Amino acid sequence: MRRAVRTSGLRVGAVVVMSLLVGGCASSVSIPAWRQSVERYVRQQGQGDPNVLRNTTINSRHGFAMIGADDPKDSTDAKGVLVAYQRVGNRAWFIYLVGLVRRQVVEDIQLAALCADDGKFTWAMSGHNKAAVQTYKRHNEALARQRFGDRKQWPAEYEGFPREEDQFDLSVVGNRAAVVHGQSGARWEVELK
């Protein structure tokens, strides 16, 4: 089965989820900590029902964010864009592209898929993909250069994740999911079991 889903059109006003860490310790935010925060949110806010994730947004996109500090210039954040809620085989998956952003600069992007059956959380993760992250960053840098010239520093939105203009396309073949950043061609894959 091959299906393309374009997420740039997902715009629904809903709850913005931010987990401020005790004491603002920005170094505590990571992609594994983001996963734990998602699980905690489902248990507490959804009373165990993962469908609560369908109504969470970050910056007008479906997603889930873990924010490390009040000031983005001093913060490490993990921001997950919900690319799709997709049935693969006999399981339903929430498929996120998660960016780790330190001081407004994206450092890592991973594909994270969550299946929550009967209160049990199963995660499938793509792991680190430096080539895809560099492709994404180079695209945004070229766009900033085109729009602002050869400045020493561009607006923070060109260095972070996600950007308002980002489009992510999902394809599923068998039990393998792939998400492609439509503008740059950066690609992340994960096997869903």
pLDDT in tens, 52-102: 999 999 988 999 999 999 999 999 999 999 999 999 988 999 999 999 999
Range of the domain at 168: 5-191
Measuring CA to CA, how many Å separate 114 from each of 74, 92, 125, 164, 190?
A: 29, 8, 9, 24, 11
Residue 119 per-residue DSSP state: T
Write down the pTM of the prediction. Answer: 0.86
- The string of pLDDT tens digits covering residues 17-28 is 333 333 344 449
- Residue identified by tokens 């992250």 is 133
- Euclidean distance between CA atoms 173 and 44, whole angstroms: 34
Q: How many domains does the chain have?
A: 1
**Structure token pair of residue 124:** 């499938």
The average confidence (pLDDT) of the chain is 87
- Euclidean distance between CA atoms 55 and 90, whole angstroms: 23
Query: What mean pLDDT do residues 98-117 have?
Result: 97
- Residue identified by tokens 């489009």 is 167
Whether the pLDDT of residue 135 is over 60: the answer is yes
Query: What mean pLDDT do residues 21-38 have?
Result: 74
Whether the pLDDT of residue 15 is over 80: the answer is no
Q: pLDDT category, 4, cuts 50, 70, 90? A: very low
Backbone phi, psi, residue 59, to 5°: 50, 50
- Euclidean distance between CA atoms 112 and 103, whole angstroms: 22
Structure confidence at residue 20 (pLDDT): 38
Q: Is it true that the peptide bond before 50 is cis, omega within 30 degrees of 0?
A: no
pLDDT above 90 coverage of the chain, percent: 77
Cβ burial, residue 22 (10 Å; 0-12/13-18/19+): exposed
Among 92-96, 154-158, 164-168, the least confident range: 154-158
Query: What mean pLDDT do residues 120-133 have?
Result: 97
CB atoms near residue 11 (< 10 Å): 10
Whether the pLDDT of residue 41 is over 90: the answer is yes
Q: Using CA of residue 8, residue 179, residue 163, residue 66, what is the dihedral sign?
A: positive
Do you know the residue count of the chain?
193
CA 31 to the chain's CA centroid:
10
Which of 165, 122, 132 has its CA nearest to residue 7? 165
CB of 99 closer than 8 Å to CB of 108 = yes
Q: Is 161 helix (H, G, I), strand (E, B) or coil?
A: coil
**Structure token pair of residue 114:** 């969550």
